[in-house]
């Protein structure tokens, strides 16, 4: 009899003859044959079949989870993140025990940004895992300073609603806030930038500064000549 082609009845007869599951494993009987012959999943685990072999032999994630297999064993055995989430493994177990990447938990495991944040991940790790900046801002309430430290640019923070003042005070270089973002002269003025800074960095004219709300005295202090100031009053 070929071990690989043994029928369910043949395997059952062998088991009834007093051979143990360990004996059958040593004789290279495949898991699928042992399963169809009625050998319990727990016995297959107990005699040393790996999660990978058990998966290929037809054992489900649910069955192995019920028998106490760990997240690391099942993930290492080829079960997907989605399968492991569906049987009850938590994001923490998958991340800490099975070493599942954050991006895989986000996509396949559908783990929310809040759940990952509650596991202790910081803004930088969440960013690398692909969580959108808007979620970090709106759902976690992270301030501009934490997001800057995580590697987001001033322009990215502007796009999700941070003001020029928030970017200026959280540590971004003045030039980055002025040149890389799309703030108006008025918004930059309200953020605390001087007329001289805007003239030097952005090349704004006296009229543009006046339209941005700067008083004539500040525009004059920015170095404009009397004839350039003509008509601004």
Q: What is the residue-level pLDDT of the chain in tens, covering all 233 positions?
A: 445 455 556 676 676 667 788 888 888 888 988 888 889 999 999 999 999 999 999 999 999 999 999 999 999 999 999 999 999 999 999 999 999 999 999 998 789 999 999 999 999 999 999 999 999 999 999 999 999 999 999 999 999 999 999 999 999 999 999 999 999 999 999 999 999 999 999 999 999 999 999 999 999 999 998 888 887 76
Is 53 a member of any domain?
no
Give the per-residue pLDDT at 16. 64
Give the per-residue pLDDT at 1. 45
User: In the structure encoding, which two tokens stand for residue 184, read together?
Assistant: 């108006």
Dist. CA 102–CA 121, nearest whole Å: 10
Is 205 a member of any domain?
yes
Is 137 a member of any domain?
no
Nearest to 204 by CA among 215, 219, 187: 219
Is 180 a member of any domain?
no
Total tally of structural domains belonging to the chain = 1
Q: Which residues contact 208 (CB under 8 A, 6 or more apart)?
A: 185
Give the per-residue pLDDT at 24. 85
Is 37 a member of any domain?
no
Name the residue range of residue 206's domain: 193-233
Q: Which residues contact 133 (CB under 8 A, 6 or more apart)?
A: 127, 147, 152, 156, 157, 159, 160
Is 41 a member of any domain?
no
Note whether 123 and 150 are within 8 A (CB): yes
Where b means 16+ CB within 10 Å and e means fewer, 67-85 reads bebebbbbbebebebebbb
Give the per-residue pLDDT at 231. 73
User: In the structure encoding, which two tokens stand for residue 51, read together?
Assistant: 């999660």
Is 226 a member of any domain?
yes
Is 228 a member of any domain?
yes
């Amino acid at each position: 009899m070929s071990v690989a082609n043994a029928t369910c009845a043949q395997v059952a007869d062998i088991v009834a003859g007093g051979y143990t599951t360990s004996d059958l494993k040593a004789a290279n009987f495949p898991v699928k044959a042992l399963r169809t012959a009625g050998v319990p999943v727990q016995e297959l685990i107990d005699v040393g079949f790996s999660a990978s072999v058990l998966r290929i032999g037809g054992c489900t994630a649910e069955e192995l989870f019920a028998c106490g297999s760990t997240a690391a064993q099942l993930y290492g055995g080829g079960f997907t993140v989605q399968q492991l989430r569906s049987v009850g493994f938590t994001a923490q177990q998958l991340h800490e025990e099975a070493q599942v990447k954050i991006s895989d938990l986000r996509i396949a495991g559908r783990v929310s940004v809040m759940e990952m944040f509650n596991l202790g991940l910081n803004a930088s790790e969440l960013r690398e895992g692909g969580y959108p900046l808007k979620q970090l801002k709106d759902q976690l309430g992270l301030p501009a300073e934490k997001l800057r430290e995580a590697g987001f640019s001033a322009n990215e923070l502007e796009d999700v609603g941070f003001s020029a003042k928030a970017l200026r005070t959280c540590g971004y270089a003045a030039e980055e806030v002025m040149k890389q973002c799309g703030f108006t002269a008025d918004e930059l003025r309200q953020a605390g930038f001087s007329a001289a800074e805007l003239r030097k960095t952005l090349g704004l004219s006296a009229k543009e500064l006046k339209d941005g709300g700067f008083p004539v005295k500040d525009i004059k202090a920015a170095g404009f000549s009397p004839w350039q100031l003509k008509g601004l009053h």
